[in-house]
Amino acid sequence: MTVLILAQEADAPTDAVVAELTRRDVAVFRADTSWFPRRLVLDAELTGGRWTGTLATGHRSVELGGIRAIWYRDPAAFAFPPELTDVERAYAHREARLGFGGVLAALPDVLWVNHPNRAADAMYKPLQLATAAACGLRVVPTLVTNSPDAVRRFTATLPGGVVHKSLGPNSITEGGQHKVAYTRKFTAADIDDLRGVASTALQAQEWVDKGSEARVVIVGERMFTILITATSAAARMDWRADFDALTHELIDTPPEVEAGVRAYMKALGLAYAALDFGIEKDTGQFIFYESNSSGQYAWLEAQTGAPITAALADLLAGACS
């Protein structure tokens, strides 16, 4: 029985899990989807209604029927021969996605962490917020719009402030520079000049007057809640903006949060996620912001000692026993 890990080659958390599984004598086959088709060969045949065959590199192979767990840890895109034309590359990409991905999707009795389609569904932040609320987690008023008038109306009803935050990945490259659009509070000047709101969807959300924030990392049935406290103005607005101004503490998950998080994971069909919360200064209540089904965790493990790598190894190895 084997754990298949699909991850990029330079990924420290994956290395740590591979090392832990190897130490436990659990068979591991690690590959990156960018190796397909040139360095990763799929040979799958439908026999008796089941897909059999192998997935192989020049160094090792795995029987498809022996795969019991797949850790889908943000692998890179398929990489095709440079000689392909754009049309050929587009065709090749579709065929690879549907063929390579399709065979893996058809393997029975496999634990996915996470299944890429479940993870893709879970990327929709409006769905995250509605699901979290339905699962008993607290959320704050949120607006998604391309209407400047709607932004004015929404901000006028929330005197404590409103932030805008990206609905998806928020980094771009312009003029050779790497840029990140962090969460930011609307100012009065912004409301007077809402050019660009009509260009696409925008997410605005009531500002949470928070004392700290928390990232809750869920690995199967295990849950690790790390309190993140910011000590700079930039980090208080968005802790991703100033990592040097953060302190971390592993804490117990409040029971009502734990129950809501478990319901959330079940509703979205996820085995792993990192959920971010703000913790209200006055009440101590956890306010759900968002979840990341490929959310990072190793820096939290390093800072707090939370045994997340071991929990992932437990989860993946458990499917093989």
Partner 1 sequence: MPGAPGSPLDDDPLSSAQLRYTVRVPGASAAVGPEETRPFGLRFAQTMPTPVTKVFSYCHDQQVAVDDDGRPLIETMGKDWKTKSATDGDEGPEENWGWEEE
* CA pair distance 261, 137, nearest whole angstrom: 7
* CA pair distance 1, 23, nearest whole angstrom: 16
Can you tell me whether residue 223 is helix, strand or coil? Answer: strand
CB of 282 to partner 1, least distance (A): 27
Closer CB to partner 1, residue 285 or residue 294?
294
CB of 284 to partner 1, least distance (A): 23
233 binds partner 1 (CB under 8 A): no
170 binds partner 1 (CB under 8 A): yes
* CA pair distance 9, 31, nearest whole angstrom: 8
Instruction: Provide the pairing of β-strand 67-73 with 2-7.
Output: parallel
* CA pair distance 140, 183, nearest whole angstrom: 15
- Binding segment for partner 1 (CB under 8 A), chosen from 62-70, 72-80, 132-140, 254-262, is 72-80
Cis peptide before 37 (omega within 30 of 0): yes
CB of 203 to partner 1, least distance (A): 8
Closer CB to partner 1, residue 50 or residue 60?
60
59 binds partner 1 (CB under 8 A): yes
Residue 284, both tokens? 């101590």
Interface pick for partner 1 out of 2, 11, 268, 289 (rule CB under 8 A): 11
* CA pair distance 240, 261, nearest whole angstrom: 22
Interface mask toward partner 1 for 126-165; x: CB under 8 A: --------------------------------------xx
- Binding segment for partner 1 (CB under 8 A), chosen from 62-70, 74-82, 154-162, 278-286, is 74-82
For 70, residues 6+ apart whose C-beta sits below 8 A from its C-beta are: 3, 4, 5, 6, 104, 110, 111, 112, 113
302 binds partner 1 (CB under 8 A): yes
123 binds partner 1 (CB under 8 A): yes
For 178, residues 6+ apart whose C-beta sits below 8 A from its C-beta are: 171, 172
115 binds partner 1 (CB under 8 A): no
Distances (CA, A) of 65 to 16, 37, 48, 100, 112: 26, 21, 13, 15, 15
Interface pick for partner 1 out of 70, 119, 230, 271 (rule CB under 8 A): 119
Residue 50, both tokens? 């089941």
CB of 42 to partner 1, least distance (A): 18
| Residues paired with 120 in a beta bridge | none
CB of 312 to partner 1, least distance (A): 13
Size of the site for partner 1 (CB under 8 A): 78
210 binds partner 1 (CB under 8 A): no
Closer CB to partner 1, residue 54 or residue 294?
294
Interface pick for partner 1 out of 184, 209, 221, 256 (rule CB under 8 A): 184
Tell me if 59 sits within 8 A of 66, measured CB to CB: no
200 binds partner 1 (CB under 8 A): yes
90 binds partner 1 (CB under 8 A): yes
* CA pair distance 44, 135, nearest whole angstrom: 40
- Binding segment for partner 1 (CB under 8 A), chosen from 5-13, 105-113, 254-262, 311-319, is 5-13
76 binds partner 1 (CB under 8 A): yes
CB of 276 to partner 1, least distance (A): 9
181 binds partner 1 (CB under 8 A): yes
Instruction: Provide the pairing of β-strand 222-230 with 210-219.
Output: antiparallel
182 binds partner 1 (CB under 8 A): yes
